[in-house]
Amino acid sequence: MVIVLERSIREDHKRRIRDFLEARGFRVREIVGEEETIFGAVGHLGIDLREVEVLQGVARVIPISKPYKLASRELQKDDSVLRVGPVKIGGRRIAVIAGPCSVEGKDEILEAAHMVRKSGAVMLRGGAYKPRTSPYAFQGLGVEGLRYLKEAGEATGMPVISEIVSPELIDEMIEYVDVLQVGARNMQNFELLKAIGSRNVPVMLKRGLCATIEEWLMAAEYLLAHGAENVVLCERGIRTFETYTRNTLDISSIPVVKTLSHLPVMVDPSHATGIRAKVPPVALAAVAAGADGLIVEVHPTPEEALSDGPQSLHPEQFERLMRDIEALAPVVEKELLRLPERHERVPAFAGVEATAAATEAEMLVAFQGERGAFSEQALLRYFHSDTVVPAPQPDFRSVFNAVLEGRCRYGIVPLENSLAGSIHENFDLLLQYPDLSIVGEVKIRIIHSLIGTPESSIEDVARVYSHPQGLAQCARFLDEHPQWERVPFYDTAGSVAHVAKLGERSVAAIANAEAAAVYKMKVLRDGIETNPQNYTRFALVARSEDSHVDRPSKASIVFATPDTPGALLSCMAVLSNRNLNLKKLESRPILGKPWQYMFYLDIALPSDPTPFEQAMQELAETAQDLRLLGKYRAG
Ligand code: PEP
Ligand code: MN
């Protein structure tokens, strides 16, 4: 049964409910959801639900109608997410596991690991104990294979997964493997499931060759009932009368299981088809049907593979498949999960000195551009402190990556200019990095200066470099000097660095005056922007686990709407009914879905958090793909 707890339940009441249930032989699991906290209670004995309903702190009790309880969506409405190191499976991500069918040797698995990692795999597969149909076929390298697998995973920064075939092997396997795979042939090996469950190791449960969906979910229930908390399912094709393919991929099992269960569902297109050329189309179909990820066999030279060569992809085929998945992902409102690039230390782009402070990710704030850029000004303004270290990045995506990968604690990106409008790329990036949140906002006035070498004066100038925006925003001043050549450059502060390098009196740049100081250059004329009402608003982003802000005054959210008359209006009504003030509304095309749009909203937050929380709950039903981008203090 599901016991929904009152929002303000006292700890001692919670304890009493748990004791009450445990005394009657129930296993109790607490699940903290976005909307409510529940106890899932599973036991052998019947109980009158009213006995539980009357306990203090219980809001309501819901019986679970399905034979599988802990695996059921009735128990947990939100998707569960399996976490292993940097990898998350479930939710809005598509995670791809790849590697050879079996570990064949140290060099082979290392080569395979590098290849699949380069193409975007997030976990490495490789069997060491192989359940082969024939006792004469290659049976795997055993513990030696596990050792090589672990080494290859460590060398490439990927967790590893391998199949377990017997309960006796658990101790050995968990020394080397991050996720245990229960193969199709062992799906109903209940002693194995119980043993794995009781060790609470992350596990991927493949569907049995002839198992119904219910039998498969009951097998997952065994794992969960014995204590496993990290379980993913894997559809790998079932036996049918068809012989052309090795198995028949039950594609409809994906949406079916996703309705019945909160567990993530992976798909193995390799064992499903058994034919290399059929793997990519089936893999894409699985993603389109809602799979949370794929496990794909890839071999450096499939022709020489010791097992399952005919179904293993060549590395180039895998690379192509990953690109196709990336293009398809937004269509199903997901992102292809990528592992962070591996950097030994903070990159020294544009000469950030690797001072003692600069190696402290805590202090680093990523911004796009060269030293002296407006973004750097904005971050220094935000932090009012010289304890932060600005970390220049070549482009906006690198700012997001630097934060995601933990190289920088914060990143700052411009969202909107009062004259030029939104910086769309950053709106799109906010959506593409669901693990980052907006935690702050700052607005700065954009004042442009003409900057030359220390010896030059305005009369010497013949050529002016700047970002096209900088040139456009100073058009009136430049028009007074029609003989000057205007040269577009990728970045305003970068144009100052460039002019400093050229060292000629006849060249100048347009940027902010602080950039002149950074590069020891001279301001030839200050305040040359045509319109003094020129402001840019920046967002500060951090990793979501680091995103708590006290007393936020603004929230940014994003959603799509159903394609029906009045759909946006009904979403807006959710806000206006609660007297929530809309500060901004912007629409952006959805990548991969031509002529469909996401709506980005900024909302002023009153001091009482309740109206906004309620609005979000209601919006989750009214809108589609609702996401909170962040709650922060308005700048
Ligand atoms: C495997 O993944 O190598 C394997 C043997 O798969 P299955 O259990 O799905 O046949
Ligand atoms: Mn195989």
Q: Kindly give the distance from the C-alpha atom of residue 487 to the centroid of ligand 1, in angstroms, as a whole number.
A: 60
Report d(CA 491, CA 494) in Å as an integer: 5
- Residue 246 beta carbon below 6 angstroms from any ligand 1 atom: no
- Position 356 in a domain: no
For 365-430, give the DSSP string: EEEESSTT-HHHHHHHHHHTSSSSEEEEESSHHHHHHHHHTTSSSEEEEEEEETTTEE-HHHHHHH
Cα(241) to centroid(ligand 2), Å = 21
The answer to whether residues 233 and 162 belong to one domain is: yes
In ligand 1, the atom with minimum distance to the C-alpha of 234 is 9
User: Which of 101, 125, 206 is the pocket-test mutation for ligand 1 (most atoms within 8 Å of CB)?
Assistant: 206
Do 24 and 124 fall into the same domain?
no
Catalytic (active site) residue 538: yes
3-state SS class at 521: coil
Q: Taking the CA atoms of 148, 154, 158 and 162 in sequence, report the sign of the dihedral they define.
A: positive
Nearest CA to ligand 1 atom 4: 183
Using DSSP's 3-state secondary structure scheme, residue 624 falls into strand
SS3 content of the chain, % helix, strand, coil (to 5): 35, 25, 35
Domain containing residue 148: CATH number:
3.20.20.70
For the entire predicted model, the pTM comes to 0.62
Residues 49 and 91 in one domain: no
Is 207 a pocket residue for ligand 1 (Cβ < 6 Å)? no
Q: Alpha-carbon distance 128 to 102, whole Å? A: 6
Residue 565's CATH number: 3.30.70.260
Kindly compute the dihedral angle of the four CA atoms of residues 216, 219, 221, 222, in this order, to the nearest 10 degrees: 180
Cβ atoms of residues 74 and 62 within 8 Å? yes
Ligand 1 centroid from CA 213, angstroms? 18
| Domain end point (choices 491, 509, 526) | 526
205 lines ligand 1 (CB under 6 A): no
The whole domain housing 210 covers 82-336
Cα separation of 101 and 308, whole Å?
6
- Ligand 1 contact, 276 CB (< 6 A): no
Closest residue by Cα to atom 3, ligand 1, is 101
- In the structure encoding, which two tokens stand for residue 100, read together? 């050879």
Residue (of 73, 96, 70, 89) closest to 255 by Cα position: 73
Ligand 1 touching residue 249 (CB < 6 A): no
Ligand 1 atom having least distance to the Cα of 127: 3
Q: Which amino acid residue places its CA nearest to atom 1 of ligand 1?
A: 101
Is 192 a domain residue?
yes
Tokens of 619: 């919006």
Whether 151 maps to a domain, the answer reads yes
Which regions of the chain are under pLDDT 50?
342-359
Q: CA of 82: how far to CAs of 70, 79, 492, 508, in Å?
A: 15, 10, 44, 55
| Main-chain dihedrals φ then ψ at residue 613, nearest 5 degrees | -60, -40
Write the CATH number for 32.
3.30.70.1140
536 catalytically annotated:
yes
Between the two ends of the chain, the Cα-to-Cα distance in Å is 47
Q: How far is the CA of 319 from the centre of ligand 1 (A)?
A: 22
Ligand 1 contact via 164 beta carbon (within 6 Å): no
Quick one: 281 and 155 in the same domain? yes
SS (H, E, C) 425-484: HHHHHHHHCCCEEEEEEEEEECCCEEEECCCCCHHHCCEEEECHHHHHHCHHHHHCCCCC
Of 26, 400, 538, 612, catalytic: 538
pLDDT of 551: 84
- For residue 362, being part of any structural domain is answered with no
For the record, the structure tokens of 330 come out as 């937004």
Phi-psi region at 151: left, alpha or beta (left = phi > 0; alpha = psi -120 to 50): alpha
With CA atoms as reference, report the closest residue to 228 among 150, 185, 170, 271: 170
Residue 344 falls inside a structural domain: no
> Whose Cα sits closest to atom 10 in ligand 1?
184
Instruction: Compute, in angstroms, the gap from residue 200 CA to the centroid of ligand 1.
Output: 22
The sign one gets for the Cα dihedral 605, 607, 613, 614 is negative
**Same domain for 229 and 106:** yes
Torsion of CA 487, 489, 493, 498, to 10 degrees: -70
pLDDT at 341: 56
Boundary of a domain, candidates 336, 354, 385: 336
Query: Phi and psi at residue 234, in whole multiples of 5°?
Result: -140, 115
Instruction: Look at the chain and report how many structural domains it folds into.
Output: 4
Gyration radius (Cα) of the chain, Å? 29
Q: According to the model, what pLDDT value does residue 223 have? A: 96
Going from the C-alpha of 588 to that of each of 232, 327, 593, 629, the distances in angstroms are 34, 17, 11, 15
Ligand 1, atom nearest to 236 Cα: 9
Please check whether residues 122 and 267 belong to one and the same domain.
yes
Task: Tell whether 152 and 239 lie within a shared domain.
Answer: yes
**pLDDT tens for residues 399-412?**
999 999 999 999 99
Cα(262) to centroid(ligand 1), Å:
23
| Ligand 1 center to 558 CA (angstroms) | 40
Which tokens sit at 444?
A: 């700065």
Q: In whole angstroms, give the CA distance from residue 599 to residue 584.
A: 10
Helix (H) or strand (E) holding 557: strand 554-560
Ligand 1 neighbour 409 (Cβ under 6 A): no
Same domain, 492 and 599: no
Last residue of a domain, one of 34, 62, 90: 62
Both 273 and 148 in one domain: the answer is: yes
pLDDT of residue 387: 66
Does ligand 1 lie within 6 Å of residue 183's CB atom? yes
User: Could you tell me if 590 and 490 lie in one domain?
Assistant: no
The best mutation among 129, 162, 165, 181 to test binding of ligand 1, ranked by most ligand atoms within 8 Å of the C-beta, falls on 181
- Whether residue 611 lies inside any domain: the answer is yes
pLDDT of residue 414: 96
- Determine which one of 156, 273, 492, 536 is catalytic: 536
Query: What is the rounded CA–CA span in Å between residue 82 and residue 262?
Result: 11
Same domain, 99 and 211: yes
Helices (H), 189-278: 190-199, 213-225, 253-260, 269-273
Give me ligand 2 centre to Cα 275, in Å: 12
Q: Is residue 348 part of a domain?
A: no
Within a domain: residue 534? no
CB of 268 within 6 A of ligand 1: the answer is: yes
Atom 9, ligand 1: residue with shortest CA distance: 184
Whether residues 148 and 110 share a domain: the answer is: yes
- For residue 402 the two structure tokens come to 């630097």
CATH number of the domain enclosing 460 = 3.40.190.10
- Give the span between the Cα atoms of 235 and 216, in whole angstroms: 10
HEC string of 23-65 equals HCCCEEEEEECCCCEEEEEECCCCCCHHHHHCCCCEEEEECCC
pLDDT in tens, 83-106: 998 899 998 889 999 999 999 999
Token look-up 């690991």 returns 113
